[in-house]
Amino acid sequence: MEKSILVSKSLEFSFEILAICKILKQQNQWVIADQLLKSATSIGANIFESKAAESRKDFIHKLSIANKEAWETAYWLKITGAVIELPPEIEAKRADIHRMINKSISTSKKTELEIKEVRG
Q: What is the pTM for the complete model shown?
A: 0.89
pLDDT digits (tens, 9 = 90+) for 78-118: 999 999 999 999 999 999 999 999 999 999 988 765 555 55
What is the reported pLDDT for 111? 72
Q: Cα–Cα–Cα angle for 55, 60, 63, nearest 5°? A: 125
Which range of residues forms the domain containing residue 57? 5-119
What is the reported pLDDT for 17? 98
Judged against a pLDDT cut of 50, whether residue 1 lies above it is answered with: no
What is the reported pLDDT for 115? 53
How many domains is the chain built from? 1
What is the reported pLDDT for 110? 83
pLDDT digits (tens, 9 = 90+) for 38-87: 999 999 999 999 999 999 999 999 999 999 999 999 999 999 999 999 99
Maximum pairwise Cα distance, the chain: 60
Which CATH number belongs to the domain containing residue 35 in this structure? 1.20.1440.60
Q: Which helix (H) or strand (E) holds 107?
A: helix 90-119
